[in-house]
């Protein structure tokens, strides 16, 4: 390398490094993001019964150890009412009528879930009207660290995360 090129290279490097002034004002806050929100939709639950309870099991690639440690998982059962209208129940769900009680409970582990329907008389029946399940996985700063309310209705969730990614599992 000739000396002119060397001096030009050194001078340019010094000028570029030395071009530092005072920091400018902070920019405006960005909008809340939802790039890390995914809804896994299960349209055909395969219910089984055993010892006074009904249950459905499944896998969910979105439930990772990282999600379980720092994210949030919300689940919603689609319940078909007697008038045919489908509503979304945030789980867990409990129905109490006098001394009778029936529950829909959700359990998670890495990559898997289990939805259980139990009843105080050992004859669960809610599951007969629950054909769908929605599992929402919220990762990173959108999850636990952001203080996701564990009682968001489905409609509130959809409004809060309008760009939520929908993944249809079956």
Question: What pLDDT is recorded for position 45?
Answer: 93
In 3-state terms the chain splits into helix, strand, coil percentages (rounded to 5) of: 25, 40, 40
pLDDT value at 95 more than 80: yes
Peptide bond into 39 cis (omega under 30): no
**Paired strand residues for 93:** 104
C-alpha 80/C-alpha 83 separation (Å) is 8
Q: Is the pLDDT of residue 146 over 60?
A: no
Please check the confidence at residue 9 and state whether its pLDDT lies above 90.
Answer: no
Is 80 exceeded by the pLDDT of residue 149?
no
Does residue 160 surpass a pLDDT of 90? no
Work out the mean pLDDT of the chain and round it to a whole number: 83
Prediction pTM value:
0.75
Question: How far apart (Å, rounded) are the C-alpha atoms in residues 165 and 63?
Answer: 15
Domain ranges in the chain are: 34-168
Quick one: pLDDT band at residue 152, thresholds 50, 70, 90?
A: confident
Helix (H/G/I), strand (E/B), else coil: 160:
helix
Q: How many residues does the chain have?
A: 170
């Amino acid at each position: 390398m000739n000396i002119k090129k060397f001096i030009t290279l050194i001078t340019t490097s010094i000028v570029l490094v030395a071009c530092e002034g005072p920091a400018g004002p902070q920019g405006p806050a960005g909008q809340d993001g939802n790039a890390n929100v995914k809804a896994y939709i299960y349209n055909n639950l395969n219910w089984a019964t055993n010892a006074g309870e009904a249950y459905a099991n499944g896998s969910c690639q979105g439930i990772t150890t990282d999600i379980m440690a720092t994210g949030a998982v919300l689940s919603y059962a689609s319940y078909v009412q007697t008038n045919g209208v489908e509503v979304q129940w945030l789980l867990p769900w409990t129905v109490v009528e006098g001394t009778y009680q029936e529950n829909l409970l959700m359990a998670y582990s890495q990559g898997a879930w289990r939805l259980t329907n139990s009843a105080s008389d050992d004859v669960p029946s809610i599951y007969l009207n629950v054909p769908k399940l929605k599992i929402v996985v919220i990762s990173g700063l959108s999850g636990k660290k952001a203080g996701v309310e564990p009682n968001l209705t489905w409609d509130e969730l959809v409004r809060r995360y309008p760009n939520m990614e929908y993944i249809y599992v079956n």
